[in-house]
Structure 1
Amino acid sequence: MRTLSLSALNIVLPPPHAASRYEELWVEAFRHQQPVRLRGDVGGLVRNVVRSRAKEAIFGDLLKFVNIAESRWLDLTTKERVKQDEVDERVSIPDSFRPNLHSVFYIFFPKVHRLVFATRVDQNNTLSPLMAQALVSKYLNCPQNLAKYGEVKVTIEPDRETLERIFKLKRLKQIELEIRPPNALGDVERELMEFLEQQNASVYRQELVSDDPAGLQLSEHTQLAAKVAQSNGYVAAKGENENGRVEELSTRSHPYQNKVTYESNVHLAQDVFEEAANSVIHDVTRPISKRK
């Protein structure tokens, strides 16, 4: 048995929000792509842009690797660092080669502007949500795309449990949320977009603090705004749990994760991933509705 892990990113363009623009954005970024730095000597690339038959999704792989030119070399015999000129003299590796390759699947859904990717295919192919966010953000915000589309915001989809834990804190002392205009997937999102557009605002921020022994009593409006913020910004809170212990919670700290177990001698990892990705999309794009 093997386990495949999936996470998701929310990709938001400046308006207008149309699926065709998101598809064009992704394809044009691929056309202009250059390797990007993710962290230290770790680099990244997007490999393949394959449209589904129904043209509702784009398939490919996210890659990470080590940039040799930026690496320092060690001589195990002397335990000393090797000088670069000696490395250049003795080590012959083509300039285009990169070691320690990790490759994971991705599917981009332009209509709902979400990208689902594997954080773990096996022990040799992994990519953390933070690195995926850095890779996709730099990939999409290449100079050519910035000039044509404006800055693209890429947010890691958080798990849905963190916000529920915030709401259930016995004494909620403080809550902070930020929303950047989302695509209008539901009534609440549409109202927030209209609210911001009417005032020429690009970001919505709200912070509530209470010294009352009972803590904050969040209105329905604030709770709905927080649900939008978890995918289109962030929610952070501080309060006391049932045991009187202070907890600090943030949607930024808890990425969404979906784990699928399968038999590798029966199913292909990519087939399992594609099926699971549809389940992830259904989960993270559920429209937010007001209580009736």
Structure 2
Amino acid sequence: MARVRTSAIHIGALNVVLQPHSPELYLRMFMTLAKGKFDARVRGDDAILLGSCHYLDKDNPLMGGRGDLYKFLKLDATEAWFNTREMDEASEDDVAELNIPDYLKPHFRKFQYIFFPKGHRMYIITKKAKQSLSQDQVKRFLTTVFERAEFAGFGQLSVTVQPDPNGLLEMLSLKRISKLRMEIDRPNPDDHEDLEEEILRRLNRMNARTEKLEYLEASNTGLVVDEEVRALADVAKDNGFVYVEGKDADNVKQYLSTKNMPLHVTARYNPNLMSEFDAFYDKVVEVNQDILRAQ
């Protein structure tokens, strides 16, 4: 019997928060990104452009949006060129022979995304068949493009790379925690989560964008992390970050941060029976439900 060859896609996520917010505003933001064809460099000459945005369900627009992110090289043509025949910098005459239109960009890659207004999570295919796109790069793209005048009416934007749901548990389970630091950007309470509502009210009242908390042990027995602090850490991991220093069960010093524990899930599928999008959608619906249940 012939072996069935499967394909795999790797998926990450971002928590995209607008203040003030509404499902309609989120979708309008993504539509504006797609319509404007704005690009931004995200690392070196690597650039990203959000190329399209369509409703997941035309009969239920607020269900969410889907589309493609384009990754390519945005070269500076005024920089020096290398002549591989001469093994030296290209001459002005060599460069004058170049005739590449500005609208053509090399190293093009395309990655699908899905955005759910409920929970305001953006899911991204981060790796497939020798192609990769990191969540940090997409975060940098969004925050950079959002500085444009076209987005002035959308309020404040904060973007957090969605951490692994088990990462915080690992961090707070250290044998001894000597330092605990949390940074909480303005959250976007869905379904009126009491703690997020309280934090948002406090930040709004103080005209503050971010809340920073740090706890240091009073003795070498370590911090006692109670339920109240655990709840704050749970908000911080999705709306900022959590960082701990301490020692594990083997008495080895540990420095852990949710920034270094991004969500990573894999979807495998038979391309003869299922499209990449269907495999992607089925997996992120499952993951998004788990994230919403945990809130």
For residue 255 of structure 1, what is the aligned residue in structure 2?
262
Aligned to 1:80: 88
Q: Deviations over 1:154-197 (max 9, x none)?
A: 11111122211111100100000011121113333223223333
Q: Which residue of 2 is the match for residue 32 of structure 1?
A: 36
User: After superposition, where does 1:52-67 map in structure 2 within 5 Å?
Assistant: 52-53=56-57, 54-55=60-61, 56-67=63-74
Task: Give CA-to-partner distance per residue, 1:223-248, whole Å, 9 cap, x none.
Answer: 00000100100000100000111000
* Residue 126 of structure 2 is aligned to residue 126 of structure 1: no
CA distance in 1, matches of 2:256, 2:283: 28
Determine if the alignment matches structure 1 residue 7 to structure 2 residue 46: no
Q: Which runs of 4+ in 1 moved over 4 A?
A: none
Distance 1:32 1:63 in 2: 14
1:178 aligns with 2:183: yes
Q: Is the 8 A contact 1:32 1:142 kept in 2?
A: no
Residue identity in the other structure for 2:82: L
1:22 aligns with 2:22: no
**Distance in 1, Cα, partners of 2:100 & 2:199:** 54
Distance 2:98 2:122 in 1: 39
How much identity, in percent, do the aligned residues show?
A: 27
Deviations 1:96-151 (A, max 9, x none): 0001011100011123221101001321x321111111122223332220x21233
Give the stretch that moved more between structures: 191-200 or 167-176.
191-200
The 5-angstrom pairing of residues 108-187 of structure 1 reads 108-123=115-130, 125-145=131-151, 147-185=152-190, 186-187=193-194
Alignment partner of 1:44 out of 42, 48, 52: 48
Report what 2:76 is aligned to. 69
Partner Cα separation in structure 1 for residue 196 and residue 155 of structure 2? 21
Does residue 286 of structure 1 match 2:290?
no
Deviation at 1:8, TM superposition (A): 0.5
Distance 1:150 1:188 in 2: 22
- Distance 1:177-1:87 versus aligned 2 partners, 3 A rule: farther
Please state whether the residue corresponding to 1:230 is helix, strand or coil: helix
SS of 1:160's equivalent in the other structure is: coil
Distance 2:166 2:19 in 1: 29
**5+ unaligned residues in a row in structure 2: which ranges?**
1-5
Measure the CA separation in 1 of the matches of 2:52 and 2:36.
13
Out of 58-67 and 74-83, give the one that drifted further: 74-83
TM-score relative to the length of structure 2: 0.90
Task: Report the number of matched residues.
Answer: 284
- In structure 2, give the amino acid aligned to 1:122: A
TM-score of the superposition, structure 1-length normalised? 0.91
RMSD (Å) for aligned C-alpha atoms: 1.8
1:48 is paired with a residue of what secondary structure?
Answer: coil
Give the aligned partner of residue 245 of structure 1. Answer: 252
Amino acid at match of 1:215: G
What is the CA distance between 1:287 and its match in structure 2? 4.5
Distance 2:134 2:165 in 1: 18
